[in-house]
């Protein structure tokens, strides 16, 4: 919910720069990982949850419950955002991810696969139980930076979904479905 509310909230301002959007997403994720990571692992991205399932770090049932909850949270966050900015001042897509006109579907899929893979790799590495002592409290910073850097690269090209739930919430609430499946 907070990822969509804060991250996509940065997107609805038509004068927001790519840097502002990247920092909003990176900082909110770093803050959430720091504050609730020790409680739930801060599972807010179905792609990351799937990656951790593949690594054997989360069970199937728990993973599925997390994914459903992540999508529900994204829908709630987008609905709150729509309520807050539903005054005609801000753009109405609520930060829904959209392909740049010069990017075709194949390129969009490749871009999203790359940035999502970077995130899953970083999360897998910094949450490796065998490296806990070595890494200390590096997870929030590393994950936040991976997200911010990926957004700097991908926001102008695809909107930088890198999280199926993050893309679903604004798309559903704003009814902006074109090429949504790319993300």
pTM of the model: 0.90
What is the Cα–Cα distance from 168 to 179, expressed in whole angstroms?
A: 11
Interacting residues of 30 by C-beta distance below 8 A, sequence separation 6+: 140, 141, 143, 144, 145
What is the Cα–Cα distance from 124 to 103, expressed in whole angstroms?
A: 29
**Residue 183: per-residue pLDDT:** 52
Average pLDDT over residues 70-87: 92
Instruction: Please state which of the ranges 17-31, 32-46, 85-99, 104-118 shows the lowest mean pLDDT.
Output: 85-99
Are 46 and 157 in contact by the 8 Å Cβ rule? The answer is no
The phi, psi pair for 98, rounded to 5°, reads -140, 140
Are 12 and 85 in contact by the 8 Å Cβ rule? The answer is yes
């Amino acid at each position: 919910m907070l990822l969509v509310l804060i991250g996509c909230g940065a997107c609805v301002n038509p004068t927001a720069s790519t840097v502002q959007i990247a920092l909003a997403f990176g900082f909110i994720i770093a803050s959430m990982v720091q504050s609730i990571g020790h409680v739930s692992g801060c599972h807010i991205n179905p792609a990351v949850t799937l990656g951790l399932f593949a690594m054997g770090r989360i069970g199937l049932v728990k993973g599925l419950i997390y994914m459903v909850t992540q999508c529900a949270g994204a829908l709630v966050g987008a609905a709150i955002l729509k309520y807050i900015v539903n005054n005609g001042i801000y753009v109405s897509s609520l930060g829904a991810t959209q392909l740049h006109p010069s990017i075709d579907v194949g390129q969009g899929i490749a871009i999203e696969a790359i940035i999502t893979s970077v995130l899953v790799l970083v999360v897998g590495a910094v949450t490796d139980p065998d490296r806990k002592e070595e890494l200390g409290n590096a997870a929030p910073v590393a994950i936040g930076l991976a997200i911010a850097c990926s957004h700097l690269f991908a926001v102008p090209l695809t909107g930088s979904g890198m999280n199926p739930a993050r893309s679903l919430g604004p798309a559903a609430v704003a009814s902006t479905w074109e090429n949504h499946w790319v993300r």
